Amino acid sequence: MLAEEIIERHMRELQDSLATLVADRTIEHTQHIEALQNEVIQCGNTIDILRQQNREIEALNASMKRQLWLEKEGQGRSSPIYHSSESRVVCLIDGDGCLFSFEQLARGYYGGAHIAKRLTEGLQQFFAAEQCLFHVWVFLNTRGVSCALHDHGYPEAAANLSNFIHGFNQASHRFMIVDVGPGKEAADVKIRGILDEELKSPQTRRVVLAGCHDGGYVSVIREHATNGLTDGKLFLLPTHKKLAAGYGSLSLPTIRVPDVFDPQRLESGPRPVAPQPRLAVLDDANIGRVASPALLTPAATPEPTSDISAVQRPPSSAGRSPGHVGRASPCRAPRAIDPSKPITKQDPPACYFFYVAKSCKHGAKCVHNHEYELSAEHVAQLKEAAEKSKSPCPTVNRGETCAHGDDCVWAHKCAYAQRCQYYRAGRCRFMGPGMHSAE
């Protein structure tokens, strides 16, 4: 019995010691946690203070930029140029995406003069309260636009593009169409740079931008809008029915000039052409400035019919070669295939959309090749390679309907369907609705 009592007494002592130790450690940990929580709260308060200071600094910076611009504008207002009887209005046009009326392009020289006249009338009507001196600058890749017109069934417009440019440029020394040469964003870079300069220039009263199809200009506009440089100075000239993403949030005024631009994109196919009245070539006296209505009326003298004999109705889609699978663009010479390499390894690589989906939205700007003469076997190999790439279709991934359907070169469904472990983890590249369905 004595041994059992000793053991029991030691057990109670051990239990008491253990309970005391646990209680002490619990108190220490609780105090440590409370200290850490207090530090987190203090850090959060410090972060809030720093964020508030950052907002105040940004507001002060914007205010100083605005004040600097006002001071520069005040200096410009005192110059003789600013107080001229005519306001300088600069109109920038992205000619790669904003195509002029296909019918007027087909009329060549007379079409260019007519478009210059219509553009002047439209701008004059919008800025009727001011005496304006218009500068219209169009930037485009002439060869790329010509090939795109030819590929989409407008050979007359493509053939007369050069004459159209001459007619437009000779309508006024302030009107010019500039060929920027090849390059996916050659025209965009030019326009962004000039847009930046003209918005800052106190000598320019208004700036009109015809490039709302391209969201690449939004960042430049938003930067100047933050500094207050676009208020009452920048206007948009939409040429398509829908604006690119980002323009709606800018809340800029828009100008509509009918019968100048073709509202449809080339990939939508040709549209019927309606006859237009013949108009005489305009001289510099009534183009590029606000003039009286009498100076802007059509001349009574008819133009020579031989000079506009190229005005024809666009051919039907049946005669268009771009629909032929595997055929190169008729606007360019076919390129030979390197027989030592598979079709998927050619240099430059063949365009999957042009040969498989029979339509490439980039047209002449595409960085891949459209000039190969491919057999049906080559096209099948391209389609098989696209399917094996397991890359999701960007259109379907955004929850939209793909216009290419079954001919799309990208996958519309994940190959693993509902068994996809990445989908369950939220990391699958196929993010569109229904892209993991079993159907």
Maximum CA extent, the chain? 137
> What residues contact residue 79 under an 8 Å CB cut-off, 6+ apart?
202, 203
373-421 per-position pLDDT tens digit: 888 888 888 877 776 666 788 888 888 888 777 777 778 888 888 888 8
Share of the chain above pLDDT 90, in %: 16
- Between the CA of residue 196 and those of 7, 177, 341, what are the distances in Å? 91, 19, 47
- Would the CA dihedral through 354, 359, 363, 365 be positive or negative? negative
Among 119-123, 342-346, 416-420, the range with the most confident prediction by mean pLDDT is 119-123
Of 364 and 255, more confident: 255
Beta bridge partners of 261: 100
Give me the residue label for tokens 């206007």.
235
Residue 172 CA to residue 152 CA, distance in Å, equals 31
Q: What are the structure tokens assigned to 346, written together?
A: 């050619």
Question: Looking at beta carbons, which pairs linking 347-351 to residues 24 or more positions away fall under 8 Å?
Answer: 350/374, 350/378, 350/382
Of 187 and 325, more confident: 187
**Per-residue pLDDT at 1:** 64
Contact assessment for residue 346 and residue 369, using Cβ atoms and an 8 Å cutoff: yes
Residue 439 CA to residue 435 CA, distance in Å, equals 9
Of 322 and 389, more confident: 389
Among 140-149, 257-266, 374-383, the range with the most confident prediction by mean pLDDT is 140-149
For residue 338, which amino acid is it? D
- Residue 287 is classified by DSSP as S
What are the backbone angles phi and psi of residue 340, rounded to the nearest 5°?
A: -80, -10
Output the CA angle 92-98-102, nearest 5 degrees: 130
Of 162 and 240, more confident: 162
